[in-house]
Structure 1
Amino acid sequence: MGSKKVIVTGGAGFIGSAVARHLVLDDDAEVVVVDKMTYAANRANLAQAEATGRCRLVVEDICDQSVMTELVATEQPDQILHLAAESHVDRSISGPRDFIETNVIGTYSMLEAARSYWTGLPEGDAKDAFRFLHVSTDEVYGSLGKDGLFHETTPYDPSSPYSSSKAASDHLAKAWFRTYGLPVVVSNCSNNYGPYHFPEKLIPLVILNALEGKTLPVYGDGSNIRDWLYVEDHARALSLIATKGRLGETYNVGGRNERTNLQVVETICDELDRIVPAATPRRELIKFVTDRPGHDHRYAIDATKLETELGWKAQENFDTGLRKTVQWYLDNEAWWMPLRKSVYSGERLGLAEPQKT
């Protein structure tokens, strides 16, 4: 594995940078990160990987098909791990266009770039070993009732502009396998959390607001349930799926850590109170706010296929992973403070506005 070369799209973002760090630091791979460097990307996320000399950043837009085709042909990767995506549900509600362009058109562009490169390879080991891993979300499956789990065969039923755009991209990836034979594998993951998470998402937002004594907004009554996956466990899973996953198959990646949103927020409050006590318990900062439009009630993944076929197992449970995450934010104010001051200060996102006429 030490000789493999991997292109990671969206590799300066939260999950993508975890994948880049894992590939470089643990798999001894050479990584080319392709990232448009939008608001949620951060060069600092790649510092450890770049310091090895085996990771470099290419700032380009995956929607530019000619550029992507040339890039893939020049780099000649063994694998492409496609993570680049607009991913925040709230932002997709108020501005869906970017999600359609990046998640649908961008995926098409990468599939075509990969197909052009792969079809031009001579028959042999390099062509046989090439893989395109399309990384997606459990939100494409829609909402569960109080029982049951998402399986790889669960019908798609997306609710938001974000999940709909990801569902479309999943179908494209599968179609390029079935129609053109491109060696594609697809993964669908549950909610990720961990270090370097942009502070618009629930867990980092609550950590930072709680540290600053600000209101902790909880949508609706806080009963919505998510399955939480530590990002470094996800990165290990993606490397494994890209290397050993069966062509044309989907693998669900989940942490088996279901929590209501209110439970997540309360656990963060209690952990911060334990480490850095405040004058009053931080649970008193919780405020219930108007629910998100189209808010799915419950997600939960069955990762049995990944665990049994490929031998993956999450190393962190929610309690151990959250402790690591809270401590990372306490130790890395230099990373998040500039974001809070200049990029995103914690304001409410995702309120649907009337269309302008």
Structure 2
Amino acid sequence: METALIIGGTRFIGRHAVEEFLDHGYEVTVFNRGNHDNPFESDDRVAHVQGDRTDDAELAGAAREVEPDVVVDCVAYYPRDVRTACRIFDDVDAYVYISSGSAYGAEVMPKREDETPLCDCTAEQAKDDSHESYGPRKAEGDRAVFAAAEDGVNAMAVRPCIVYGPHDYTERLDFWIDRVRNDDRVVVPGDGTNVWHRAYVEDVASALRVVAEAGDPGEAYNVGDRRMVTLEEMVELIADALDTEVEVVHASERELSIGDLSLDDYVLYRDYPHVLDTNKLAALGWESTPVDEAMQAAVDDHLDSDRDGSEHDPGRENEERVLGVLDTL
């Protein structure tokens, strides 16, 4: 039986990755600091090694203790993290780094792994922890993977777009589910045709395994829903999953300004379409979950949780002002 070491492994993508590898017959160990509740604490199939992945000695100790065949790195947020991991795990069958669609440095459609340029990353950005440096840091991590592969390390990268599904602590989708659940009229910024490619979390987890088993060292693989939906279609999918009906009300930048709102106040809105080409991953045998099934799972999990996405709420009272004026037009 092969052994998988999941660096992270208890919150969102990592949690689903653990389940994916278990379902496919792997022995699984998670390595993390133990700062979050461990959903596998009572599961004797999952071992836990506690440590800080930014401490080279502790990461190397985990490598010696586990002797993994596959390593999935869920929490490599800095290029140094990736370079260190590639050095420590230089003899594994597969080291899979979770990168991001944000690593792309050009607004083109679609974004292809072997064509679309990556973000540049300055020395300052490589150490910065701000949202603005996230894409450059992930891109530099990709370059670390490519360099390690040239030195013979079986290192690969997976680039998800916006990830959604059960246990999503970002609560981005939860905001929209909460809106549809509680309001008959839902304000959708723009004309509703905005596209920001999303990836169902279980499909990301399966992509990690497929790439570990069949990917080529030095390669990156995009992952996202094979059927993309617009923002308005996403709202309609949520309504279907809740077995309810809502009226979608489009609001332009000018109309939103009536309520002191802007397009960018809405989570999952993006002006230029963000679309990833997933054919390279599909060629390895990966398949995605139908979006209606994925949304149903996300909605069911939302209903079982206490998440409401309120941190992303632009303010219902502000929207009511917009709706009131639109009703008079």
Secondary structure of residue in 2 paired with 1:192: strand
**1:198-347 equivalence runs, <5 A:** 198-201=169-172, 203-211=173-181, 223-272=193-242, 274=243, 281=246, 283=248, 289-292=261-264, 297-308=272-283, 310-314=284-288, 316-330=289-303, 332=304, 336-337=305-306, 345-347=310-312
CA contact (8 A) 1:7 1:81 kept: yes
Aligned to 2:58: 67
Query: Post-superposition shift, 1:142?
Result: 3.9
Query: Post-superposition shift, 1:15?
Result: 1.0
Aligned to 2:142: 170
Percent identical among aligned pairs is 24
Q: Please, which moves more after superposition, 318-327 or 70-79?
A: 318-327
Aligned to 2:71: 80
Q: 1:149 & 1:173 partners in 2: Cα distance?
A: 19
Q: 1:216 & 1:11 partners in 2: Cα distance?
A: 35
Secondary structure of residue in 2 paired with 1:305: helix
Secondary structure of residue in 1 paired with 2:78: helix
Secondary structure of residue in 2 paired with 1:58: strand
Q: TM-score, normalised by structure 2?
A: 0.76
Secondary structure of residue in 2 paired with 1:251: strand
Unaligned runs of 5+ in 1: 86-101, 119-128, 350-357
Q: 1:292 & 1:169 partners in 2: Cα distance?
A: 28
CA contact (8 A) 2:187 2:248 kept: no
Unaligned runs of 5+ in 2: 121-130, 315-329
Query: Post-superposition shift, 1:64?
Result: 1.1
Secondary structure of residue in 2 paired with 1:346: helix
Secondary structure of residue in 1 paired with 2:276: coil
Q: Which amino acid aligns with 1:200?
A: E
Q: Please, which moves more after superposition, 240-249 or 157-166?
A: 157-166
2:100 paired with 1:137: yes
Q: Which amino acid aligns with 2:88?
A: A
Aligned to 1:111: 86
Q: 1:65 & 1:74 partners in 2: Cα distance?
A: 14
Q: 1:216 & 1:7 partners in 2: Cα distance?
A: 43
2:38 paired with 1:43: yes
Cα deviation per residue 1:268-313 (whole Å; 9 max; x = unaligned)?
24532x25x7xxx4757999643449956222222222222x2222
Q: 1:212 & 1:229 partners in 2: Cα distance?
A: 25
2:27 paired with 1:30: yes
Aligned to 1:11: 9
CA contact (8 A) 1:33 1:56 kept: yes
Aligned to 2:123: none
Q: 2:134 & 2:9 partners in 1: Cα distance?
A: 19
Q: 1:194 & 1:284 partners in 2: Cα distance?
A: 25
